[in-house]
Structure 1
C-alpha cells in the first residue's frame, strides 16, 4: 500500500494530493445530499436547503466540483479546480448565513466551518508545486 501511495504522491504532488482529498470530500457530500438519511432530513439546516432547491440539485453541484477536483489533480494546471472548490465552500457558507438569518439557530457554526475550509483551499491554491512536478521546459531552437 505504501509504495502505491508514494508513487501517487510523486505523480500528483502536494496540490494534486489535496485536490484528491477535496474530490473525496465533495463526492461524499454529493452522496449525502442526493440520498439523505432520516437524520439528515430531520435537520433544520437541511430542511432550509431543501426549501431553496431540491437536495439532489445541491448534491449535483458538489458532485461536479468533486469530479473537477479529481480530474485536475492529475493535471499540471489545476487552478479551475481550486477556484471551484473554494467558491463552493464560500457559497455553502453564504447559504448557511441565510439559514441563520431565517432562524436556524445552529447555522452560524456551519458558516464558521465552511469559511475556514474555503480559506484553507484558497491558501493551498497559492502554494507552488515542487519544481520537478511543474511543466517541463519547452525546448528552444531548431531541430535536433
Structure 2
C-alpha cells in the first residue's frame, strides 16, 4: 500500500439471526459437506441461492449442485488482520461461480502478492478440513490450476 492509498477500518459481519428455510438451509448443509448449491430461476441458476428471485420477487425453483470454481468479477486488496481468513494480505472479491448468475463474496488468496489478482482470475474454493455449515467452511478461494 502506498502513502497515497486510502484506508478505512472495516468489519465484515451479519450481526443478526434468522431462520434459513429449505433453500438457504440446503446451501449451508452443502457447505458442511464441501458442495456448493445454486437455485434455478427464470434467468438461470443463482448462486448463492435465495428464496426469491431478486429482480422479480418470484419464488425460486429447485436447488442444484454447482461447481466450486469461478471467476473474479471485482475485488479490492486488503492488509490482513487478526481473524481474517488468511494470514497475509489478500483480496475480498465477488466471484461468479461457474454456470451461475450472481456472485459470491469471499476472500481470494494469491500468496500475499497483489499483482496476481485481477478481474477475470479463475479461482476455486479451498475447503476447511472441518466444516460446520457456514460460509467460513470455504477458507478462501485460490488460483485455479
- TM-score strictly above 0.5: no
* Structure with max Cα Rg: 1
Higher normalized strand content (fraction of residues): 2
Question: What TM-score bracket applies, with the shorter chain setting the length?
Answer: under 0.3
TM-score, normalised on structure 2?
0.24
Q: Indicate the structure with greater helix content.
A: 1
Q: Please, what TM-score do these two structures have when normalized by structure 1?
A: 0.24
